[in-house]
Amino acid sequence: MFLRATTALTALALAAPAFAEGELNVYSYRQPELIAPLTDAFTEATGITVNVAYLKKGMVERMKAEGRRSPADLVFTVDISRLSAVVEAGLTQPVVSDVLEANVPGIYHDPEGHWWGLTTRARIVYASKDRVDPAEVTSYEDLADPKWKGRICTRSGTHPYTVALLSAVIHHQGEEAAKTWLEGVKSNLARKPQGNDRAQVKAIWSGECDISLGNTYYMGKMLSDPDQVAWAESVNVLFPEFEDGGTHVNISGVAMAKHAPNRDNALKMMEFLTSPQAQEIYAEANYEYPIAPGSEASELVKNWGTYSADEVNLMTLAALRPTALRLVEEVDFDG
């Protein structure tokens, strides 16, 4: 259902929409409380009310079912695979804007303008402070080295975050070498892939493994939860790079729905979201990195260290997703 900012209201998904000029409707894979600072700031600046429908899954299926009657103006989501899935389903429209072009670096938006990045997160290594010298972890390629045998924890190989990283490995090394790398990582696992990124850090804290893959923002989430602070304090945040590239990053982004009933308001919000000020609000709320020129990460995020982001266009990685999933199945990574 829709949330008016954070207050529930009724939405008839398949009924013809009839909205006031001062409204805007968002379908979001991000929880409303995470984007509330942005929607509240936008409403305060413009007077436009933002209605948010939080969806755990099934966004593409819902929008297909609604068709031209869909009330959605904007789509918020994380991970390039989810952004590209909405685009590939024909549920978005290209947006041309000098403001967006100025605020979003080229590698962080669709060349055709169907989606635009807002913030990034790095796919890094969490390493035990007690059992791992930070100098030991410098590259993603190194994770297949036998020295890590029985020491790595990670989530499922089919999870979008894992698939995106494997797609980057394919891009840098080629399919055959990427398969060999994946087999090497599997042989180094301390346990079968399971749980989310925080569960891997908990496993390091408990001594079950020594290093894990994870997104940077989970450090912020753990530090904000009294029950998980000890997990966070047991690890270092390390930024490996590809031997011929940088640190793998993924993205949160926004796209305009194909049948947006409030297109002008939607464009206003897209331009607002990509402004340095709004990106800093969004990045601080989610422990991520803003991408607009002149914007800065929060002090907490800065404390984790700096990195050089891999410069591959994320659409290139999205195109490699089917190959990555096939390799995960071929090596039976989760088995």
- Strand 2-4 with 49-54, pairing: antiparallel
135-158 tens-digit pLDDT: 999 999 999 999 999 999 999 999
Q: Is the pLDDT of residue 16 over 80?
A: no
Beta carbons of 225 and 124 less than 8 angstroms apart? no
Q: Is the pLDDT of residue 127 over 50?
A: yes
By percentage, how much of the chain surpasses pLDDT 90? 79
121-248+308-330 maps to which CATH number?
3.40.190.10
CATH architecture of the domain 2-120+249-296 equals 3-Layer(aba) Sandwich (3.40)
Count CB atoms within 10 A of the CB of residue 181: 21
pTM of the entire predicted model: 0.86
Report the half-sphere exposure of 40 (CA within 13 A, side-chain side).
11
* Residue with the larger pLDDT of the pair 9 and 170: 170
Burial class, 308, CB count within 10 angstroms (exposed 0-12 / middle 13-18 / buried 19+): exposed
What value does the mean pLDDT take over residues 159-185? 97
What value does the mean pLDDT take over residues 276-303? 90
> What are the two backbone dihedrals, phi and then psi, of residue 56, each rounded to the nearest 5 degrees?
-75, -35
Closest CA to 119 of 24, 217, 6: 217
Q: Is the pLDDT of residue 161 over 60?
A: yes
178-209 tens-digit pLDDT: 999 999 999 999 999 999 999 999 999 999 99
Q: Is the pLDDT of residue 12 over 70?
A: no
